[in-house]
Amino acid sequence: MRFIRLMLAVILLTVMLPITGAQASASPESTLENFAYGSTYTVKADLPNATFSELEYKTYSGPVEGLVSNAPTWTGFARQDGREVVVDLGKLKTIEQVSLEFRQDPAQAIMLPPYLKVDVSQDGQNWSALGQMHHAVSPEETVERTFQFVFAPLQARYVKMYFPVDIWTFARNLKVLGDPTAQESGPVVLEPSKDDQASVGSYMNLPNNQDILLIYTGAHEEKGIWNKDEFKSVVAYMKDGSAQDTMFDTMLFLPYEAVESTEAAWTAYIDDLFQDKTQLGALNQAASEVHRNRDFKQKVILSIPFPDATKPDFWLEEGKEGIDTVDGQKKAIKWYLDTLMAKWHAANYEHLELSGIYWWKEKIEMQHTDEEALVKHTASLVHRHQQPFFWIPYYGAKGYSEWKELGFDHVIIQPNFYAKEVPKDDRMPDVANLARKFEMGVEVEIDEWVLVSRYHYDAFYNQLNKGHELGFDGEVTNAYYAGNKTIHTLANSDIPMLRKVYDDLYRWIKGNYQPKN
């Protein structure tokens, strides 16, 4: 049975949650019993990691009774993105308070979570949202805080709490209070939990940006310079020297490495993009030849470098505000974006279409409010230019679960499955769950090692096979990290097993890939 109405009466801390419905009186606290004490509970990490789990257990495992203990000992949670704590009260009980204590000690990298979210359920399957609490505590303070929800009595057996974790989060004294003498009556019922609905969500699917290839430029001499022929093998599916079909519909241009935070370096990066016979100019020529008889424009996404605040001397002109403040960073980004867009419009490429702007940094320091503000401001600048804002965080990076609040329009997650040490088998299912839950696309990864290493060759196919099983291919937006022109090399290889990788990538893009042993 679904709860119908949320009646939050009091919430301690600095932010009050919205109250809907009629007010109801809570029982005097002296008559309430802590139903959580002695109850069983589970803890689930968003991004499980055996190393961090072992670190938690050996260093800050908490009291014997765990989080539901009344002891003063803290339980530590290390990284792994966030924690979902589900308490089973054993049977339906009438509850009216939920709380959890947290500690912050910046010197020890122990931070308050930015929020605590609470859901309740009668059966453990259908969840309803009790509320979400934020705080305004400075990340520089050393404090202890209790996140407490007080509400009209309602019946529930399960209570679910969720809080993000950056480096360390310390918690203790989980309480679920209620009146043990309360008589069953017509229940107060809450809105269905959005997370409950999102758990069966879908991957991101952008019809005009189904397959986004990362194109690295701006450094490493020839490795960072693309010509027309190199682009042809990724714009089109090439066979026997001729284009048979389309391949990647979108090219995401991004710096080969961090661009030095100076006006001169950023200008040079832009100028390098807008060359006549290489980079964007070469792509335009390749698209012209490949799509000659098609009503089709090659899509392009361009990047914004990250302004490093430790490099204050940004401007060529003396006396201008540096980028060691967030206001200075905002001004630098506005100048860059205005310059980039002016260049794009002046180029007037006949066969290219701008599809968005990409935030280059792969994680966001959510504990640093200046960086969060910078991203949000950048999003507003991008939107003023009537462009969507893209981001591709790595697996475990901060900020992906809040990407909509940060102002991004489209986010694609990196599985980081193709690596020197292949992650456990649950990595790809975990990525699939996150991508569906937060409506993200999924990146496919390959690089030059596939050309010379059987280990990496097999890792690539393991990735494709598992991705196919989880539905990453076909009508799903994928980004593709492909190292240094790896796909062009595969397309032109006279080694059948390497050419096969190119052919199978084409099949994957078209939704026709079939796993093989």
Q: What is the CATH number of the domain that holds 226?
A: 3.20.20
Average pLDDT over the chain, rounded to an integer: 87
Q: Are residues 275 and 381 in the same domain?
A: yes
CA angle at 400 for the pair 149 and 448, rounded to the nearest 5°: 155
* Nearest Cα residue to 342 out of 250, 263, 273, 249: 273
Identify the residue with better confidence: 340 or 296: 340
pLDDT of residue 194: 56
Return the percentage of the chain with pLDDT > 90, whole number: 68
pLDDT above 90 for 197:
no
Q: Are residues 58 and 174 in the same domain?
A: yes
| pLDDT category of residue 48 using cuts at 50, 70 and 90 | confident
| pLDDT category of residue 23 using cuts at 50, 70 and 90 | very low
Q: Are residues 163 and 224 in the same domain?
A: no
Q: Are residues 94 and 23 in the same domain?
A: yes
pLDDT of residue 496: 96
Q: Is residue 132 part of a domain?
A: yes
Identify the residue with better confidence: 117 or 291: 117
Q: Are residues 72 and 95 in the same domain?
A: yes
Q: Are residues 314 and 394 in the same domain?
A: yes
Q: Last residue of a domain, which of 198, 219, 238?
A: 198
Q: Last residue of a domain, which of 169, 198, 227?
A: 198
Predicted TM-score (pTM) above 0.75: no
Q: Is residue 335 part of a domain?
A: yes
Q: Last residue of a domain, which of 163, 198, 233?
A: 198
Write out the residue range of the structural domain in which residue 164 sits.
8-198
pLDDT above 80 for 80:
yes
Q: Is residue 517 part of a domain?
A: no
pLDDT above 50 for 248:
yes
Q: Is residue 46 part of a domain?
A: yes
Burial per residue of 410-438, b for 16 or more beta-carbon CB atoms within 10 angstroms, e otherwise? bbbbbbbbbeeeebeeebbebbbebbbbb
Q: Is residue 236 part of a domain?
A: yes
Q: Is residue 2 part of a domain?
A: no
Q: Are residues 175 and 319 in the same domain?
A: no
Q: How far apart are CA 77 and CA 74, in angstroms?
A: 10
Q: Are residues 337 and 470 in the same domain?
A: yes
Q: Are residues 84 and 174 in the same domain?
A: yes
Q: Is residue 1 part of a domain?
A: no
* Number of independent structural domains in the chain: 2
**Non-local CB neighbours of 159 within 8 Å, separated by 6+ positions:** 36, 86, 87, 89, 95, 98, 118, 119, 120, 176
